[in-house]
């Protein structure tokens, strides 16, 4: 896309600060069911699900955790079995050795420092073994207080297409979105972009004609 075309497109749709509110409102109306796709019944199940979701699909994680969570209910349960047994139980999510090591390390830390409970603060979550900022952001938001903006491949792609950021690095993208998106929307905003990215703003073939924010998007092809 030529630089002059991009500049013209951005002038056409207006400043991002004026567009962000209608973008959010329209996407909420379009995707009222936008929420986390992982299935969990407790804070601990949420944390494990998000840790297992790296480099795989939510559908696959839900398939694995349907039986996993019947077997492992407390942090102690993940430490009571041999490493090889837990590796087999999470094998289908991929990168099973790294995930097993991270889960066992996290369970040990939860028992030692948090009385077996999942902390709700971002700065505490990122101290858990294998819990990076994206995972911590997801968990914190689902526990009730979003302290950042989750940036996955969909959020990155749509934020760039919508002209909300020019950055490539997820940390810098999050920083741009935090400045732009009202704090009360930090939790729902990533879900809106994820669902819109799956249903409409598809990576290879975006369906711009069916997009409710095409007149607010500098990348629109119509």
Residues marked active site are found at: 134, 152
Question: Beta-carbon neighbour count of residue 196 at 10 Å?
Answer: 24
Encode the chain in three state secondary structure. CCHHHHHHHHHHHCCHHHHHHHHHHHHHHHCCCCCCCCCCCCHHHHHHHHHHCCCCCHHHHHHHHHHHHHHCCCHHHHHHCCHHHHHHHHHHHCCHHHHHHHHHHHHHHHHHHCCCCCCCCHHHHCCCCCCCHHHHHHHHHHCCCCCCCCCCHHHHHHHHHCCCCCCCCHHHHHHHHHHHCCHHHCCHHHHHHHHHHHHCCCCCCCCHHHCCCHHHCCCCCC
Distance from C-alpha of 204 to C-alpha of 184, rounded to nearest angstrom: 31
d(CA 202, CA 5): 21
CA–CA separation, 24 and 104 (whole Å) = 38
């Amino acid at each position: 896309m030529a630089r002059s075309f991009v500049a013209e497109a951005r002038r056409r749709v207006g400043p991002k600060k004026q567009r962000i509110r209608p973008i959010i409102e329209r996407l909420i109306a379009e995707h009222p069911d936008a929420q986390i796709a992982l299935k969990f019944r407790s804070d601990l199940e949420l944390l494990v699900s998000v840790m297992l979701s790296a480099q795989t699909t939510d559908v696959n994680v839900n398939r694995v955790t349907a039986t996993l969570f019947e077997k492992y209910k407390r942090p102690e349960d993940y430490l009571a079995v041999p490493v090889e047994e837990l590796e087999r139980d999470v094998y289908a999510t991929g990168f099973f050795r790294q995930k097993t090591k991270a889960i066992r390390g996290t369970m040990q830390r939860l028992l030692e420092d948090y009385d077996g409970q999942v902390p709700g603060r971002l700065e505490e979550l990122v101290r858990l073994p294998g819990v990076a900022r994206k995972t911590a952001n997801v968990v914190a938001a689902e526990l009730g207080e979003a302290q950042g903006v989750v940036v996955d491949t969909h959020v990155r792609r749509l934020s760039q297409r919508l002209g909300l950021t020019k950055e490539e690095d997820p940390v810098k993208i999050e920083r741009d979105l935090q400045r732009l998106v009202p704090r009360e929307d930090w939790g729902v905003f990533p879900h809106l972009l994820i669902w819109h990215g799956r249903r409409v703003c598809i990576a290879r073939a975006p369906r711009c004609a069916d997009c409710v924010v095409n007149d607010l998007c500098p990348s629109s092809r119509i």
